[in-house]
Amino acid sequence: MSEKITMAKALNNGLRKSMEDDPKVVIMGEDVGKLGGVFRITDGLQKDFGEDRVIDTPLAESGIIGTAVGLAIRGYRPVCEIQFDGFVFPGFDQIVSQVAKMHTRSAGLVRIPITIRIPFGGGIGAVEHHSESPESYFAHAPGLKVVSCSNPSDAYWMIQQSIRSDDPVIFFEPKRRYWSKGEIEDAPLPLHRARVARAGTDVTVAAYGPMVTTALEAATVAADEGRDVEVLDLRSLSPLDMPTILESVQKTGRLIVVHEAWRSVSVSSEVAARVQEQAFYALEAPVLRVTGYDTQYPPSRLEEEWLPNVDRILDAVDRSLSY
């Protein structure tokens, strides 16, 4: 496809294609039907597929996830929308106690093919509970697959791959990138494969979701200063694509991990630990991290001071190359 479309439209098209391909795919969530979702990701789907397949639910995340568990056991493939990242926690018990464990508890007899869509991250000037990055909570739980798209093409393909998966998938959507445009590639990468978004030789910057664009912007500035930065889009947070990460680190000898979430006990912590375990002798500098701070997400007027940005990434590049 040559036409450039927004990530929001790409997700809409991906959901539509999944519903056309499989009558067992149903969408559930607050305002996903008549309104089409607060970000209009499900716009027009209830009109075309009916209220039995695009279901406006009560404001009860635990009820949404619990109902999806029952539907999955009965052979459906539910797609749950959590309206904002900070609203997922009322359904957290259902996700980690049932969705993540049902397959193991049943000795493999019961599949839970549920996709849970969560708009996440900051950058939109939203109020409290509307700009958070809870991905580490879910990546920590065995039994859950956790992925995040960063561009329209991945959004289109990854949502379909997630829905087809027999494993439960937590699908993080970078809300600040919903309106960014791009072309849809003809063929997707495997769902849990990382992507080299920009090739380089001096230092690897690994990011995911909303920070991939920021990392690419930093790489462009770094190139003007004579630094050749490779940008990795992790795409999958659980499982991590360690072969692709290690291949990049073995080439550049340096790694910087970037994300919006808190620094402590985070995805970057895991990546850093695994790289030093598996590629210690390839490293020419310590693994560095550029992340959100270990504080509660700030009021919207202060979020640009809190979020990782181009300058903070460039500072980490300078520090890494100074060793």
Digit-coded pLDDT (tens) for 82-137: 999 999 999 999 999 999 999 999 998 999 999 999 999 998 888 888 999 999 99
Q: How far is CA 56 from CA 45, 83, 260, in A?
A: 12, 12, 31
Tell if the pTM clears 0.85, that is, is over it.
yes
Is omega for the bond preceding 239 within 30 degrees of 0, making it cis?
Answer: yes
Integer Cα distance of 23 and 246 in angstroms: 40
pLDDT at 127: 85
For residue 282, name the pLDDT band (cuts at 50, 70, 90).
very high
Handedness of CA 53, 56, 58, 59 (dihedral sign): positive
| C-alpha–C-alpha distance, residues 162 and 17, integer Å | 13
User: Which domains does the chain carry?
Assistant: 5-182 (3.40.50.970), 195-321 (3.40.50.920)
**Helix (H) and strand (E) counts in the chain:** 12, 14
Q: Is 143 left (phi over 0), alpha (psi -120 to 50) or beta?
A: left
Which entry of 103, 130, 192, 259 is annotated as an active-site residue?
130
What DSSP designation does 298 have?
P
The pLDDT assigned to 211 comes to 98
DSSP string, 252-273: HS-EEEEEEEESTTSHHHHHHH
Q: Which residues pair with 5 in a beta bridge?
A: 182
* pLDDT one-digit tens code per residue, 132-153: 999 999 999 999 999 999 999 9
> In the numeric block, which tokens belong to residue 118?
């969560």
Tell me the average pLDDT of the chain: 96
| C-alpha dihedral sign at 187, 191, 197, 202 | negative
Q: What is the rounded average pLDDT of the residues 188-212?
A: 98
**Distance of alpha carbon 145 from the chain centroid:** 11
In the numeric block, the tokens 């009109």 are attached to 47
Residue 257 has pLDDT above 60, yes or no: yes
User: What Å distances lie between residue 134 and 45, 94, 142, 146, CA to CA?
Assistant: 28, 16, 16, 11
H helices of 120-241, in order, are: 135-139, 152-164, 211-224
pLDDT value at position 129? 87
Q: Residue 2: is its pLDDT beyond 60?
A: yes
Contact 323, 233 (CB under 8 A): no
Is 140 annotated as catalytic? Answer: no
